Amino acid sequence: MLKRILEYAKPFRKTLIWVSFLILLMALLGQVEPFITRSITDSLVQSQGDGQGLFTYIGILLLVLLLVKLVQSGLNRLSWFLTNIFVIKFEAHLKSLSFDHLMNLSLSFFNQQESGKIISKLDRGVNRLISIINNSGMHFLPNVITAIISFAIVIYYEWRIGVITVLAFIPYIVINRWRFEKNSKLEHEEHQLYDRHYAHFYEVLSSMELIKAFRAEEFEKKNLRTFFKKAIRLRQEMENNTNRSMVGDILLELLSWFMYAYIVYITWQGQITIGTLILLVSLIQLIRQPLWQLNWIFWEVKKAQIGARDFFKIMDAKSDVVDPVKPLEIKDVKGEIVFDNVSFTYKQDAFNYFDKNYDEQTKNEQQDEERPKQIPRNLQVFKDVSFTIKPGEMTAFVGPSGAGKTTIASMLMRFFDPDQGKILLDGVDVKNFRQRDLRSQIGLVSQSVYLFSSSIEENLRYAKPNATEAEMWQACKIARADEFIEKLDKGLKTTIGERGVRLSGGQRQRLSLARTILRDPKIIILDEATSALDSESEMYIQQALTEVLKNRTSVVIAHRLSTVQRSDKIIVIKDQHLLEEGTHQQLLKKDGLYASLFKIQSGDLSKLKEWDLVG
């Protein structure tokens, strides 16, 4: 994992090399003070009365010490400056990489994940990766260098003290390993708890109308209190494990005390000078502190790796839909669409994204807890479906809910690829086009209107970033959206709120249609575009569509059959197959499913009684 982390930091290797060089200099300079202290102490103890010479000698040593301290301070500030700038840039780099990766994933990934959980995992993963690099660079490396140099000097003067100093850390490390193993399991549980909570909290904030309508405020407050109780319990268990590991600290202090006592003893025996005593005590501290920190850093890095795995699991997710190596250029689109023996199954395997490259134990733990059991593993939507839509033709798709009408639109835009068969645009398999190029020729107006919390102008520019104001007003006029925009104080500059909440349902739908018109696509998909509108709003939209759909290939998906009667062709889908096909009048004469649905919506009493919809 460390190799992969360093790969992410590769663009900043020059900065890291400079920081490492500065740390090496600081570690070397850190060895100067104990030697100067020893020299001053021995000079004072062994002074023979040459006061002036001693004063000069000690003065020079103190000036050298001051200079070393000043240089250390400057190097320390410079190293922290470079490190802090690196952290900011590295964080931006990781977040940009992860966002770019998410933008390239197919819809199947997002359809089966909770947005709040993805954000939580990415945020934690980025922070953990920064922690690993930061701890390794600013703490691990200098402590290793300091410990090695100090250990070599101690061995030179008294090898037994050096060996005992290192051996003293063995029980300390063993005990802390036990603490880490216990706490790592608790941390994994804590991560899952926070992921679930943030996912739910994200839903709560975007569903306040529902919460207030069902008087669920107290219920959500209780959920939050329950979450905090669980989080506090987990953290208390981790702290209790840390308290138990204090046995290692006590053993370390006892062994350190024995070493100090031994140094005092050999000094009393005359084997070393008082200055050397001070030197050895200082060097032991220079070994002890880095080794203690190295142990702490090691376990902190191991702990950070647990969180970093979440980042890697998302970055390892593969898109189901990929661009061809040598894409064809889309030219002069006429709009002929062919589904040739298309079969498609929704595969509920998104959790494999997060299981990939993860240890089996964690995988088994997550599978039971995270996989949504209410969704079947596989759901076949189509089997050997074939149809043709001619250029400029309006084709409507009707059928029961879940029959796959919206899936047809999604596959046409390559949100998903078929398991078998081909989807052709003007005789060319859509897999041969880049996704961006294909979607540039298709406009989508759906029942669920997606608007951003910005101005009307910025929402329109999503379709055409370089659109002029005149072009935007023209698109709004065609969509009958100019009528309400002109009444707003700031016109196109008006901010419409999150998901366009400051507009009515009909206004949002007309603005969505205007955005599609501004794009000027050759093919338009209307997915239940008027199903949630009142009669007046639907009239506005239908008037706009009459003009918009001229000379364009259009795909209309609707439950309300009054909106599809003027279609050139109506295709009825049920039970994974194409059931009926024809014009409105032809299908009525067949007296099949379409005719039954039409009679029910038209209020045919006999048909309503047949379906047990009236007494």
Structure confidence by residue, pLDDT tens digits, 279-311: 777 777 767 766 666 666 666 677 677 777 878
Q: Which of 62-76, 131-145, 175-189, 285-299 has the largest mean confidence?
A: 62-76
CB atoms near residue 337 (< 10 Å): 22
Q: 394 and 567 in contact (C-beta within 8 Å)?
A: yes
- Compute the radius of gyration of the chain from its Cα atoms: 36
Q: Are the beta carbons of 191 and 310 closer than 8 angstroms?
A: yes
Determine the 3-state secondary structure of 488 from DSSP. coil
CA angle in degrees (0–180, nearest 5) for 587-334-412: 65
In the structure, what pLDDT confidence band is assigned to residue 370 with cuts at 50, 70 and 90? Answer: very low
pLDDT at residue 389, rounded to an integer: 92
Q: What are phi and psi of 507, to 5 degrees?
A: -65, -40
Look at residue 425 in the predicted model and tell me its pLDDT.
92
User: What mean pLDDT is predicted for residues 369-393?
Assistant: 71
What is the Cα–Cα distance from 209 to 205, expressed in whole angstroms? 9
**Average pLDDT of the residues in 167-193:** 80
What percent of the chain is predicted at pLDDT more than 70?
85
Across 429-448, average pLDDT: 88
In 414-564, which residue ranges form alpha helices assigned H by DSSP?
435-439, 456-460, 469-478, 482-485, 505-519, 535-548
Mean pLDDT of 263-278: 80
241 is written with which tokens?
A: 């494990």
**Per-residue confidence band for 605, with pLDDT thresholds at 50, 70 and 90:** low
Average of per-residue pLDDT across 194-206: 78
CA nearest to 322, candidates 108, 134, 533: 108
Pick the residue with more confidence: 24 or 47? 24
CB distance 413 to 443 below 8 Å: no
274 vs 74, residue with greater confidence: 74
> Cβ(134)–Cβ(85) under 8 Å?
no
Bridge-based pairing of strands 420-425 and 337-347 is antiparallel
Which of the four pLDDT bands, split at 50, 70 and 90, describes residue 545? confident
Mean pLDDT of 121-144: 75
User: Against a cut of 0.85, is the pTM above it?
Assistant: no
DSSP sequence for 82-93 = HHHHHHHHHHHH
State the Cα–Cα distance between residues 177 and 112, nearest whole angstrom.
37
Calpha distance 502→490 (Å, rounded): 13
Residue 103 sits at φ, ψ, to 5 deg, of -65, -25
Task: Please report where in the chains the tokens 């970093």 appear, as a residue.
Answer: 308
What is the rounded distance in angstroms from the CA atom of residue 461 to the CA atom of residue 143? Answer: 54
Percent helix, strand, coil in the chain (nearest 5)? Answer: 65, 10, 25
pLDDT tens-place string over residues 307-350: 778 788 888 888 888 888 898 988 888 889 999 999 998 876 54
**Beta carbons of 422 and 386 less than 8 angstroms apart:** no
Q: Are strands 394-398 and 420-425 parallel, antiparallel or unpaired?
A: unpaired
Q: Which residues contact 556 (CB under 8 A, 6 or more apart)?
A: 394, 395, 396, 397, 526, 563, 564, 567
What is the separation, in whole angstroms, between the first and last Cα of the chain? 68
Domains identified in the chain and CATH numbers? 2-315 (1.20.1560.10), 331-417+551-615 (3.40.50.300)
Is pLDDT above 60 for 363? no
Q: Specify the higher pLDDT residue, 297 or 455.
A: 455
**Strand-by-strand arrangement of the 569-574 sheet:** 442-446, 523-527, 553-557, 394-398, 569-574, 577-582
Q: What span, in angstroms and rounded, lies between the C-alpha atoms of 440 and 413?
A: 10
Residue 541 token pair: 């939209």
pLDDT band with cut points at 50, 70 and 90 for residue 50 = low
| DSSP type of residue 341 | E
Token couple for 330: 């889309």
Burial class for 269, CB neighbours closer than 10 Å (0-12, 13-18, 19+): exposed
CA-to-CA distance for 445 and 579, rounded, in angstroms?
25
Query: Where does the pLDDT of residue 375 fall: very low under 50, low under 70, confident under 90, or very high at 90 and above?
Result: very low
Binning pLDDT at 50, 70 and 90, where does residue 368 land? very low
